Amino acid sequence: MAEKPEFDPSELQGYYAQDFEIDLSWMKKPTQHQYRWKCLDNRWQSSHRRVRNGPTLLKAFRDSTPTDVYVSTSSWLNPIDLPRLRDEEAAYPILLDHLVVFDIDVPPFCITNMELARQSAVKLYDWMKDRDEYAFMHVSFSGSKGFHLFYEDLQREKFQIPDPKEREKKVRTERKKLLDLVASAGHTVDIKITADTRRIIRLPGTVHGRTGWKCNIVDIETLHKPFKKWYKQLDRHDNAIKIPRKSTTPKTTRVKSKVDGEPVNVQTNTISIEVSTHVAGTKNRSALMAWLPYSWGAPQQAVTRALAYIEDFKFGATAFWTDGERTLMLVPRAIPREQLIKITRKLKINTLQRELKERQHSWVRITGKLSEEHDWEKELLPINVLGKEANAACVWPWSRSHLRLSSRMGLSIESDEAELAGNDEPSIRIAQRA
């Protein structure tokens, strides 16, 4: 019998009402954090009382059935009914502290990918040991796709800024600087988590609603061992899914249908936005924009490998995004097509090389995929702009249109106005693919 691809969240009915414990002792003051959870009917609820320990949180659930439980990475003077960042009418909340949390995900959920995520977590942990301004707290297995590394910020000056708005702004600015350093060192983390003071993260000790595996705190000694040697010791629901050894996600999504009683395969179409590599307004120049080959590895490994090529070819500032599985790279330079064909041949970026030969440019996906069921898949996350130190050595002008594109996609690149080629607007289309 085939294994269930997802855990049935209805299995959690009454689960937290049993003799259940959630340990909040890793937090200095649990009462200063916000707690939110997703319910069985997909509604979101927040705790309307301060939570001082696990039993208090269980009482806050009341008659709801939480499928996924989260806690704020920030602590607040009043965490109840916390206003949104853009809420101009409510009184500005007072930020007391903000944990530094790194989220490392390597989807889809399988043993092979969890090993890659574990290796990435270990590398980041080792790198952070040299940063005395942060104290390691713990690392947790999220229950699906990866790990969360928690750190305490020992630099307390910014939390003494009198103006609460300026205080929070200063914290966010420092977190973004830290993220730049992390990305420059070749570590791939979810940039939405670390710098966002209003972000919530999965609460250790609670069940992941799609897998049935608990978010488990893992000791560092265990983290340094291969995932396959210890994952079976992790806490989980009795009916949690079995973690597949390798990804079973097919390259093309198909659904079964019937014609005259006979089963047939029907491809499910997806819609996304694509951009041309051609530098608009030039005759034969293209930017190097492509999804890096699967053989380059997970995002962190792919970016590390790309950095070596940036240095070898003197590309200069290069932007990177990821959809969680693959890495999108953009060198926003106006490179003569024949030269770019030779470069892509050496890099073994075969799709771009072939399409430059056949069509003189390539269409590249720059958004997630919208399925016919109106579900978004493979949405892009910006990683960083790397290789800036090679700008002066690059012989090609900037592609004006691809610089603008990169900025619109969340990664701005500074350039010399005298070295710009082509028009402002890139060539963009909406594409439907099977």
Q: Could you report the per-residue pLDDT of 296-307, keeping only the tens digit for each?
A: 988 888 898 999
- Count of residues making up the chain: 434
- Tracing tokens 């700008």 back to the chain, one arrives at 391
- Tracing tokens 């009482």 back to the chain, one arrives at 59
Beta-carbon-side half-sphere exposure of residue 312 (alpha carbons within 13 Å): 8
Which parts of the chain have pLDDT scores under 50?
1-3, 249-267, 373-374
> So what's the pLDDT on residue 1?
35
> So what's the pLDDT on residue 372?
53
> So what's the pLDDT on residue 265?
41
| pTM of this structure | 0.64
- Tracing tokens 């597949």 back to the chain, one arrives at 244
> So what's the pLDDT on residue 183?
76
Instruction: Please give the span between the terminal C-alpha atoms of the chain, in angstroms, as a whole number.
Output: 29
> So what's the pLDDT on residue 2?
41
- Tracing tokens 């954090």 back to the chain, one arrives at 33
Domain ranges of the chain: 9-233, 271-433
What's phi and psi for 111, nearest 5 deg? -65, -40
Q: Which of 22, 28, 81 lies closest to 50 in space, CA to CA?
A: 81
Per the CB < 8 A criterion, the answer to whether 320 and 328 are in contact is: yes
What is the rounded distance in angstroms from the CA atom of residue 67 to the CA atom of residue 64? 9
> So what's the pLDDT on residue 24?
96
> So what's the pLDDT on residue 256?
40
CATH number belonging to the domain at 9-233, selected among 2.60.200.20, 4.10.520.10, 3.90.1300.10, 3.90.920.10: 3.90.920.10
Beta strands at 420-421 and 398-399: parallel, antiparallel or unpaired: parallel
| Span 179-216, pLDDT tens digits | 888 877 878 788 778 989 999 999 999 999 999 999 99
Per the CB < 8 A criterion, the answer to whether 71 and 148 are in contact is: no
Per the CB < 8 A criterion, the answer to whether 94 and 165 are in contact is: no
> So what's the pLDDT on residue 376?
61
> So what's the pLDDT on residue 96?
97
Q: Which residues pair with 352 in a beta bridge?
A: none
